[in-house]
Amino acid sequence: MTADGTTGRKFGPARPAAAEVRVVTYNIHRGAGLWRRRNLDRVAAVVRTLDADIVALQEIEVRPGTPSGDQVRHLADTLGMHAVEGPAMRDEHGTYGNAVLSRLPVENSRSSLFIIEGGEPRSIVEMDVGWGSGPPLRVLATHLDLQRAARARQLEEVIDFIGACDEAPLVLMGDLNEWWPWSGGMARLGECLELLAPAATFPSFLPCLALDRIALRGCRAVSPPRAYREGAARHASDHLPLYVDIVAGPPVT
């Protein structure tokens, strides 16, 4: 890879205990929703209802002076969260790609572009988040290519990247765009991380594909991931948000 460069509790899915952290991955489709009308406040309302601690966002724009505006700053300010940008594409108006929001303290962060490109450049965000007295939680957030061959090679890069990380607790989240259940790359990912059970997130109005995934190392899920499909989540994006509550420590066997 090449280098590139807290809100109060709300109603929503039952919150975990204080020692647990809720993580969410959400492809927001530029905030356009199913009817292609941008509405970031609708996206913010979904995230607020989920009461998330860390949110990996895909297809988010930072284009000040255009109708899109700075979507990262808008959501971060609206939700009272820290923001880390992970741009994948740049043009004269701004950037487009990934971002991570956190209401937990961010200790360091960076964004990298994949060497392998497919239909468009893709990026991965890496950040460390303080979540107690132990080592920080390493968060990786990405959005892989639609093209199968490019996606497979990008997934190999992700696996190599994970192998180069230290042994701190780690969560990988994102729109992996992998709908092939027999994917060799996903099988390899499952050898180095605990690949949590899939849940259908796409399309949001009738979910049948588990494109969005969460994987863990050195921490465990309290229960299987869930796709949130209530209220505005059904039309705020073409994807549903996927969420899970995690705690420190290895999986219970």
Q: Is residue 59 part of a domain?
A: yes
Q: Is residue 1 part of a domain?
A: no
CB 117 within 8 A of CB 111: no
- Tell me: pLDDT of 223 over 80: yes
Q: How far apart are CA 177 and CA 234, in angstroms?
A: 19
Predicted TM-score (pTM) of this structure:
0.90
Residue 190 has a pLDDT of 93
Count CB-CB contacts under 10 A for residue 120.
14
Domain count, the chain: 1
Q: What is the mean pLDDT of residues 16-42?
A: 83
Which residue did the predictor score with more confidence, 201 or 115? 201
- Tell me: pLDDT of 176 over 90: yes
Domain that holds residue 187: 21-248
Q: Is residue 155 part of a domain?
A: yes
Q: Is residue 25 part of a domain?
A: yes
pLDDT single digits (tens) 123-151: 999 999 999 778 999 999 999 999 998 99
Residue 252 has a pLDDT of 64
* For the chain, percent of residues with pLDDT exceeding 70: 90
Residue 184 has a pLDDT of 85
Contacts of 198 (CB under 8 A, 6+ apart): 210, 213, 225
- Tell me: pLDDT of 201 over 90: yes
Q: What is the mean pLDDT of residues 59-76?
A: 89
User: Number of H helices and number of E strands within the chain?
Assistant: 4, 15
Q: Is residue 159 part of a domain?
A: yes
According to DSSP H, which parts of 83-222 are helical?
Answer: 148-164, 184-192
Angle separating helix axes 148-164 and 184-192, nearest 10 degrees: 10
CB 51 within 8 A of CB 10: yes
Residue 166 has a pLDDT of 79
Q: Is residue 161 part of a domain?
A: yes
Q: Is residue 253 part of a domain?
A: no
CB 101 within 8 A of CB 76: yes
Q: What is the mean pLDDT of residues 175-201?
A: 90
User: Residue 201 maps to which CATH number?
Assistant: 3.60.10.10
Q: Is residue 12 part of a domain?
A: no
- Tell me: pLDDT of 58 over 50: yes
